[in-house]
């Protein structure tokens, strides 16, 4: 395509219907290789290979995606005319702290330098050596938007309003510069003045022994005592490990239902009413090998604001998935399946949310060099992508005309939304689309064989016990060892069919 036509197509990136009319041209044109698939079936097994002509320039892709993201940034405004799009919330946070002498630093890779951590799971990770006293600070204060991936509660993705595998953490940090008073004051200012949140709907938690933070919130900020909760170590005390820097936390919560009133019985962990959106860590102590704590010579501040959570609050959405950070990806998948998210039942919405969340995660992971495999980080990419493929198949998501895979077209929407967080994702567009296509085609064969065998196993289990059918560990192991069918997919299918997964020796560790 000519660059002008590419730009026009990309300007409508946030409109799934327009994206789909372009088809996988969003992956094929705009600087990516045009892709075809040759397939044949032998002995009941689908064999496919990807055929690609010569690569064209990626310059048009960079320009058109920039245009599409920029056009989406200003499309959402609050009553005061302030930008409340995901991109706007991110930009305003960083500018707020830059105006207060914080150095804006880039996100670190999802592959951390810290050998004790598999993936980057928090904004402070890139500064851990400074907090631990292993490196000298390069700046006294900093602000970042950090890309993060957590998979410890993958089963909650799409089930709750707030759980994700991929998310962005906005943060401001002090390395021996300011401390509690300033951190609390600025957290309140950005929440109520910059973002315009109703002060009467913000609740505060503090560590049970942190009288200093409690007094600042009550006496200097003016929070009524009945909206300040003292909490224990599990919720409001941070530590780098058994030894090293540690300190109390203070968190800001948004109240979705102030009409329920205040009677002292409120539980800030009640997801139906509250959501934590800003966490302030006051790193003031160091713990030795005997468990004794001494004051740190240089006290630090580590904070994190969930971008998706703040978008949910400011955009008035019932969950993070319906914000402009994820909804365009969901709508693209829904359109490719010929359905509407708004009209879908809960089970269908759950699958669409999984597609939206996991697609974001794999795009950023592949961009950072993590490719699908059976070990370590690579297995996380493979697992997430296979969940996308299975959900897409169950929903009837169709690949665009001439393509053998649907995941690249959906990924292109996520890539178009990524630039303000990490410009390298756009630069890696070709690699991301290629990897998604290869992995989807490879898994399609495994999925087809495995589902047939699993269906027979489930039917046999129901014959033995119709009320509580169960697959054995032997069943799960056979599916994995003989047919390459992943345990997590076996568990998903069995759970949906009412026959709990077997686990046992087939389980990956």
Residues 397 and 424 placed together within one structural domain of the fold:
yes
Q: For residue 310, what are its two tokens?
A: 């703040």
CATH classification of the domain holding 139: 3.30.930.10
pLDDT 10s digits, 256-279: 999 999 999 999 999 999 999 999
Q: What's 500's DSSP letter?
A: B
What is the CA 391 to chain-centroid distance, rounded? 18
Range in 47-56, 236-245, 338-347 with the lowest mean pLDDT:
47-56
Question: Would you say residue 195 has pLDDT above 80?
Answer: yes
| More confident site: 152 or 147 | 147
Residue 313 phi, psi (nearest 5):
-65, -55
Question: Would you say residue 130 has pLDDT above 70?
Answer: yes
- The pLDDT of residue 75 is 67
3-state secondary structure 205-230: EEECCCHHHHHHHHHHHCCCHHHEEE
Task: Name the band, by pLDDT with cuts 50, 70 and 90, for residue 41.
Answer: very low
Range in 23-32, 212-221, 271-280, 452-461 with the lowest mean pLDDT:
23-32
Mean pLDDT of 49-76: 40
Residues 280 and 347 placed together within one structural domain of the fold:
no
- The pLDDT of residue 63 is 36
Question: Would you say residue 326 has pLDDT above 80?
Answer: yes
Q: How many CA atoms lie within 13 A of 101 on its CB side?
A: 8
**Does some domain include residue 142?**
yes
**Does some domain include residue 15?**
no
Residue after which a domain boundary falls, among 315, 344, 371: 315
Residue after which a domain boundary falls, among 391, 423, 446: 446
**Does some domain include residue 50?**
no
Task: Name the band, by pLDDT with cuts 50, 70 and 90, for residue 36.
Answer: very low
Question: Would you say residue 89 has pLDDT above 60?
Answer: yes
Range in 195-209, 211-225, 401-415, 449-463 with the lowest mean pLDDT:
449-463
Mean pLDDT of 244-255: 95
Question: Would you say residue 308 has pLDDT above 80?
Answer: yes
- The pLDDT of residue 473 is 83
- The pLDDT of residue 91 is 97
Report CA-CA distances (Å) from 178 to 224, 283, 492. Answer: 25, 11, 48
Question: Would you say residue 465 has pLDDT above 50?
Answer: yes
Residues 304 and 329 placed together within one structural domain of the fold:
no
Range in 26-40, 91-105, 125-139, 321-335 with the lowest mean pLDDT:
26-40
Q: N- to C-terminal Cα distance for the chain?
A: 47
Residue 435 phi, psi (nearest 5):
-65, -40
Residues 285 and 349 placed together within one structural domain of the fold:
no
* Average model confidence (pLDDT) across the chain: 84
Mean pLDDT of 81-91: 97
Task: Name the band, by pLDDT with cuts 50, 70 and 90, for residue 499.
Answer: low
Distance (Å, whole) CA 487 – CA 154: 14
Residues 111 and 90 placed together within one structural domain of the fold:
yes
**Does some domain include residue 485?**
no
Residues 244 and 370 placed together within one structural domain of the fold:
no
Domain that holds residue 231: 86-315
Residue after which a domain boundary falls, among 406, 428, 446: 446
Residues 248 and 337 placed together within one structural domain of the fold:
no
Residue 416 phi, psi (nearest 5):
-65, -20
Residues 212 and 348 placed together within one structural domain of the fold:
no
**Does some domain include residue 366?**
yes
Burial 418-431 (b: 16+ CB within 10 A, else e): bbbbbeebbbbbbe
Burial 225-258 (b: 16+ CB within 10 A, else e): eebbbebeeeebbbbbeeebbbbbbbbbbbbbee
Q: Is residue 338 within 8 Å of 330, Cβ to Cβ? A: no
Question: Would you say residue 410 has pLDDT above 50?
Answer: yes
**Does some domain include residue 17?**
no
Question: Would you say residue 2 has pLDDT above 70?
Answer: no
Q: Is residue 329 within 8 Å of 414, Cβ to Cβ? A: yes
Residues 172 and 280 placed together within one structural domain of the fold:
yes
- The pLDDT of residue 65 is 34
| More confident site: 487 or 310 | 310
Residues 285 and 340 placed together within one structural domain of the fold:
no
Question: Would you say residue 232 has pLDDT above 90?
Answer: yes
**Total number of domains constituting the chain:** 2
Task: Name the band, by pLDDT with cuts 50, 70 and 90, for residue 450.
Answer: confident
- The pLDDT of residue 274 is 97
Mean pLDDT of 275-298: 93
- The pLDDT of residue 59 is 33
Q: For residue 401, what are its two tokens?
A: 């005309």
**Does some domain include residue 1?**
no
Task: Name the band, by pLDDT with cuts 50, 70 and 90, for residue 436.
Answer: very high
Residues 405 and 293 placed together within one structural domain of the fold:
no
Q: Is residue 246 within 8 Å of 237, Cβ to Cβ? A: yes
Residue 157's contacts (CB-CB under 8 Å, 6 or more residues apart) are 163, 164, 165, 353, 354, 357, 358
Q: Output the CA torsion 142→144→148→152 (10° steps).
A: 50
Question: Would you say residue 1 has pLDDT above 80?
Answer: no
Question: Would you say residue 497 has pLDDT above 90?
Answer: no
Pick the closest to residue 468 from 492, 504, 494 (CA basis).
494
Percentage of residues of the chain with pLDDT beyond 70: 83
Mean pLDDT of 30-41: 36
Pick the closest to residue 415 from 402, 397, 433 (CA basis).
433
Q: DSSP labels for 274-290?
A: EEEEEEEEEEEEEE-TT
Is the pTM higher than 0.85? The answer reads no
Distance (Å, whole) CA 169 – CA 144: 8
Residues 244 and 117 placed together within one structural domain of the fold:
yes
**Does some domain include residue 189?**
yes
- The pLDDT of residue 458 is 84
């Amino acid at each position: 395509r000519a660059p002008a036509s590419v730009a026009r197509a990309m300007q409508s990136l946030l409109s799934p219907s327009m994206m789909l009319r372009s088809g996988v041209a969003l992956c094929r044109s705009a600087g990516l290789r045009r892709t075809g698939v040759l397939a044949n079936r032998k002995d009941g097994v689908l064999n496919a290979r990807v055929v690609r002509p010569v690569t064209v320039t990626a310059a048009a892709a960079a320009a058109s995606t920039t245009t599409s993201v920029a056009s989406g940034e200003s499309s959402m405004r609050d009553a005061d005319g302030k930008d409340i799009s995901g991109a706007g919330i991110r930009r305003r946070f960083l500018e707020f702290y830059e105006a207060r002498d914080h150095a804006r630093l880039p996100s670190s890779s999802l592959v951390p330098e810290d050998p004790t951590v598999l993936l980057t799971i928090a904004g402070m990770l890139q500064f851990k050596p400074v907090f631990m006293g292993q490196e000298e600070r390069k700046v006294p204060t900093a602000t970042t938007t950090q890309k993060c991936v957590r998979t410890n509660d993958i089963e909650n993705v799409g089930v709750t309003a707030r759980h994700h595998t991929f998310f962005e953490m906005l943060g401001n940090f002090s390395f021996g510069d300011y401390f509690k008073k300033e951190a609390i004051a600025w957290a309140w200012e950005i929440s109520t003045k910059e973002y315009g949140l109703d002060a009467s709907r913000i609740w505060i938690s503090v560590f049970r022994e942190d009288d200093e933070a409690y007094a600042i919130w009550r006496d200097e900020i003016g929070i009524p005592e009945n909206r300040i909760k003292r909490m224990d170590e599990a919720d409001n005390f941070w530590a780098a490990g058994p030894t090293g820097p540690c300190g109390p936390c203070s968190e800001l919560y948004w109240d979705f239902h102030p009409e329920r009133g205040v009677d002292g019985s409120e539980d800030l962990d009640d997801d139906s009413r509250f959501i934590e959106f800003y966490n302030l860590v006051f790193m003031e102590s160091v713990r030795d090998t005997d468990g004794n704590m001494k004051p740190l010579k240089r006290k630090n501040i580590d904070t994190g604001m969930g971008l998706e959570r703040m978008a949910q609050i400011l955009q008035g959405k019932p969950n993070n998935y319906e914000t402009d950070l994820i909804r365009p990806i969901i709508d693209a998948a829904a359109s490719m399946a010929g359905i509407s998210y708004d009209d879908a039942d809960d089970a269908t919405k759950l699958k669409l949310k999984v597609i939206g969340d996991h697609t974001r995660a794999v795009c950023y992971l592949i961009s950072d060099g993590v490719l699908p495999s059976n070990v370590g980080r690579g297995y996380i990419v493979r697992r997430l992508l296979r969940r996308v493929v299975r959900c897409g198949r169950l929903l009837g998501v169709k690949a665009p005309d001439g393509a053998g895979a649907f995941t690249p077209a959906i990924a292109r929407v996520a890539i178009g939304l990524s630039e303000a967080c990490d410009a390298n994702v756009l630069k890696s567009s070709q690699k991301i689309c290629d990897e998604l296509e290869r992995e989807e085609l490879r898994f399609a064969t495994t999925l087809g064989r495995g589902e047939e065998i699993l269906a027979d196993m489930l039917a046999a289990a129901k014959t033995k016990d119709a009320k509580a059918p169960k697959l054995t560990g032997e069943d799960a192991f056979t599916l994995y060892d003989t047919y390459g069918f992943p345990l997590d997919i076996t568990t998903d299918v069995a759970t949906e069919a009412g026959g709990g997964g077997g686990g046992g020796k087939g389980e990956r560790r």
